[in-house]
Each structure stands twice: as structure tokens, then as C-alpha cells.
Chains A and B, each alone.
With several copies, the nearest count.
Chain A
Amino acid sequence: MIEFRGVTKQFPDGTLAVEGVDIVIPPHQTTVLVGSSGSGKTTLLRMINRMVDPTAGQVLIDGTDVATLDPVNLRRGIGYVMQNSGLLPHRKVIDNVATVPLLRGVSKRAAYAHALELLDTVGLDRSLADRYPSQLSGGQQQRVGVARGLAVDPNILLMDEPFGAVDPIVRAELQQELLRLQGELGKTVVFVTHDIDEAFLLGDQVVIMQQGGQISQAASPAEILAAPADAFVADFVGADRGKRALHLTDVGGRQVVVDADGRPAGVLSS
């Protein structure tokens, strides 16, 4: 369990990125932080592995204040996946995946063998192991990023817009893959996105943040949709734009679901 207690972060230049945040992130579930640009999602995420230290408040992992832990060691125990995959461009795929175990002193053989298994886990062909990241497609790179995040078998996996830079088809694939993986592994995943659809798809709990790093609502997707906490949330999830106000219409004998703007959202299955 990860807990934020009255966490505030003001950067040296005066920006108040996050203010007075309290959240409890339950274990073995996916919590998605969603909000528009600059709302402090990344800042909050990075406090967990001490890439950022709060200026006030505490971040606790299983009851231990992370401020008391050595940052380098802490990070080696937490998986981290970022938008552009964050792979080291001058290392081969296999070396990238094995980086952290090697840093932790695992033997080369064991690390490589495990890395190959991880490629299987994330659905990559082992033949890609000897390529450089730049020789992979964006989606493949993200998979390698996830594999690297899993390499030390962490309890916590932090993902900062991991699918933000891939195109929609690949993105949908990766989302499915993540759902499958999470079903198998049951990690505590903290996922950052600014795509509300993605948040609703992946999150057991969705945390909606608003500009200035405050939390508007933290609840399950259906709860948020059924009862948005305030106007900001309603706007953000699209309720007041008519995007979520659906009705049915008949096209060629099928029941097409259409939103208030007349834009089709899908087809009703009987």
C-alpha cells in the first residue's frame, strides 16, 4: 500500500505542482492518475520512488516513509516505465532489460536468462533481444520498457504515460496486454495518463487531478461517471460536453449509440 499524506511540492522556481494531496493507493490494483497537462501527475508519481521529494507531507510505502530510504536502492526495487520507453539508446534490448538486475549484482547469466523470459512475458520475440531500441517500432519499445520495469520483480510498477507516444491501434493492443499482465501478476500499478478513456479502461481506481495539483475525485470509473464530484470532473470526463450523454438511433437495422453531438460511440449489442 502506498499512502500520500498531506503532500505538497513547490519547485524552487515557485511553481506549486502539488498541494495537500492525500491518497491511498491499494495494493495489487491499478490506480490511474489522470488530469490535463501540468496538473502534477508526474510530480506525484515521482515522489513514490523519490525522483522528487515533497516539500511538505509524507509518502509512505507499507507504512515506511520513503524519505528514510536510500533513493538509489529504493528505485532499484520499483519498476518505472515512461512515455518514450526511456530505454538507453546505446544498449541492446537485452542489456536494457537486464540493466537493473546487473546493477543489483545479479550474475550476468542469470540476468540475461531472466531478461529473455521477460521478453516472452511482454509478448516480444526473443529474436529482438540483440537489436538496439532505435531498431524497434514504438510499440515494441514500450514493451521493452515494461519488461525492464518488471525485471527486478517489483511490487510496485510506476507508469508515466507509457502509451502516450504510440498510435491508436498499437495503443489499444498495449492496453490489452497490460490488462492481461496485471491479471497474471497483480502488481501495485500506478499509472499516469491524460486520456480519460485510457484511465477508465485500466483503472481500478481513477484519481482525477486538477490544475494546481489538487485531487478532484478518486473513485472507480463507474462511480465517477455516474456521480461526478464537481463541475470540473463532469467537464473532464466529457459529461457536460454531451460526449457521455448517449442515446440510441437506428442505422441499417442496428442500434447505434450516438452522443449528444451526433457522433456515434458504438453499437448496442442486444
Chain B
Amino acid sequence: MNLLLDAIAWIVDPANWTGPGSIPLRIWEHLWVAALVLVIASAIALPIGMLIGHTGRGKQFAVMTSGGLRALPTLGALTLFGLWLGIGLPAPVIALVILAIPPLLAGAYAGFESVDRRTIDAARAVGMNEPQVVGKVELPLSLPIVVGGIRSASLQIIATAILAAYIADFGLGRPIFEGLRTRDYGEMLGASILVIILALVVDGAFALAQRLAVPAGVRANRTRELRSRPARPRAILGQPINEGNQQ
């Protein structure tokens, strides 16, 4: 508990709120790097995930890649990239991008896959071309899940972005490392608390976005789910459970 008091003391100490390396500056840096990583990772992972979800092909590839990337220890990746690229932001940004890709990829393909095939089929049957099917049907309907992927990616990025400070003078990781090295645990814990709060706020924002992303018609559906099932379901047997676990 003593530690906690020290942490709070560090956070509220006015000396830490001004000048170079001040708390607001660190928070700003942290957010900025996280946003950059999120944008880059999204630009890579979302289109691939959507393509896989849209075509239904390459899911195995996605599962394998996500698994492999997830297994890649971020610390190891960071050191390796550090050795090759030197200090500064490039190495941590790449390491974090790798970290963020699996949840984004999974969100995108799971989202696209979750769209009722009959709806897509109908869209095609009335004469939508492929881009229209993607843009007007699959994207809006999969948005909540896609945003869910972005949400968990952003949580991981913010939590792990402290590693950026390992080789760059950046973000809330700096006071954490500094506190660790100088055994100023108040500082270390204080900065950690800030990271958690930051994550909380960003996560909350994305949770809200996720809710807003549910299309109006689909939301209306939720409130009417009283009936146990459609009047006459067709005989579709042995439906597989759609998760990342299908071989």
C-alpha cells in the first residue's frame, strides 16, 4: 500500500507536470505512437482479413500467421529490430505493429465471416458487383466485430508501447524504466497507473464505437429476440461452430 501512496504522490507531484518529460508530454507521446502503430497495422491487417473473410479462402493461412505472430515474443522482436535498425522509433513501431496484427486480422476475417451468407447471396443476386457487396453489405454488417478487433489491438498496443522506451526516448515507458533503474518504485508504479488509465479510457471509447457500429436494423433485431426461433427453420444439420478452431 505504501507503494501505491508513493505512486499517487508521483502522479500528483506538480513538478512532474511541466517541463521536458512531463506527464502530459509522455501521455501525448504514448498516444501518438499507439495511434501510429494502429494505423499501420490496420492498413496491413484489415484488408487481408477482409479479403480472407470475403473469399472464404486462406483462413488456414490467417490462423497460422496470427498464431505465429502471437508467439513471437515482443521483447525478442524489439531487440532484434533494435540491432538492425538502431535506436529511435522504427524498431518499437515495427515490433508493436507485429503485435497488433493478429487481433486485427482475426477481427476482420471473423467479422466478414459472421455476415449471413444468405444476405450476401441475395445482394449478389439482385445485381451488386463484388466491390458493392463488400462496401454496402459486408463492411457495415461486420463493423462491430471489426471494431472489436481494433479495440483489443489498441489495448495491447497501449499496454505494450511502454517497450518503446527501451530504445527510444518515448512515452510512458520512460518513467517506468527510469523508476525501475533508480528503484523509484513510486515513479514506476505511478506511470503504470497512468498507462492503465489510458488503456481504460481508450478501451471505453472503442467500446462505445463498437456499440455505435452496430447497424440500426441489426440493433432493432436485438430487442425482438423473444421468439425462440424462426417459424420453420430449414434442415441445416451439424453446423460447425464458427471460430478460429476449425481445422
Contacts and interface: CB of A to CB of B under 8 A. Distances in A.
Interface of A: 13, 15, 37-38, 42, 46, 49, 51, 72-77, 80, 82-84, 86-92, 99-100, 103-104, 131-138, 141, 148, 164-167, 194
Given A15-B226, A103-B132, A134-B217, A88 B123 contact: yes
Contact of A89 (B129, B215, B232): B215
A104 B119 CA distance: 20
B119 A165 contact: no
Given A75-B125, A80-B125, 15 more contacts: A76-B126, A76-B127, A82-B122, A84-B233, A87-B122, A88-B122, A89-B116, A89-B218, A90-B215, A104-B127, A134-B237, A135-B238, A164-B232, A164-B234, A167-B235
Contact of B126 (A13, A75, A84): A75
B211 interface: no
Given A13-B226, A141-B237, A100 B141 contact: no
Given A89-B238, A90-B141, A90-B215, A37 B129 contact: no
B231 interface: yes
A82 B231 contact: no
Contacts of A89: 116, 119, 141, 215, 217-218, 221, 238
A51 B220 CA distance: 29
Given A99-B126, A134-B237, A165 B228 contact: no
A88 B215 CA distance: 11
B181 interface: no
B30 to A, nearest CB: 36
Given A86-B122, A89-B141, A72 B220 contact: no
Contact of A42 (B122, B128, B228): B228
* A13, A88, A136 — most chain B CB neighbours (10 Å): A88
Contact of B217 (A74, A92, A164): A92
Nearest to B233: A165
Q: Which 5 A-B pairs have the closest CB atoms?
A: A134-B238, A86-B122, A132-B217, A90-B215, A76-B127
Contacts of B57: none
Nearest to A145: B122
B224 A49 contact: no
A248 B215 CA distance: 55
A75 B232 CA distance: 26
A138 B237 contact: yes
A84 B231 contact: no
A158 B116 CA distance: 21
B216 interface: yes
Interface in B91-131: 116, 118-119, 121-129
12 contacts: A74-B127, A75-B124, A82-B118, A86-B122, A88-B136, A88-B217, A89-B116, A99-B126, A104-B127, A135-B220, A166-B235, A167-B232
Nearest to A72: B129
Given A15-B226, A138-B230, A165-B230, A86 B119 contact: yes
A131 B220 CA distance: 9
B219 to A, nearest CB: 9
B125 A165 contact: no
A100 B237 contact: no
Nearest to A51: B125
A86 B230 CA distance: 15
Contacts of B238: 89, 132-135
Given A134-B220, A135-B220, A165-B234, A86 B129 contact: no
A137 B116 CA distance: 19
A137 B235 CA distance: 9
A118 to B, nearest CB: 14
B183 interface: no
A38 B236 CA distance: 12
B217 A73 contact: no
B247 to A, nearest CB: 16
A134 B233 contact: no
A257 B138 CA distance: 50
A89 to B, nearest CB: 5
Nearest to A135: B220
A49 B125 contact: yes
Contacts of A134: 217-218, 220-221, 224, 237-238
A38 B227 contact: yes
B137 interface: yes
B125 A86 contact: yes
A84 B239 CA distance: 12
B213 to A, nearest CB: 11
Contact of B231 (A46, A87, A167): A167
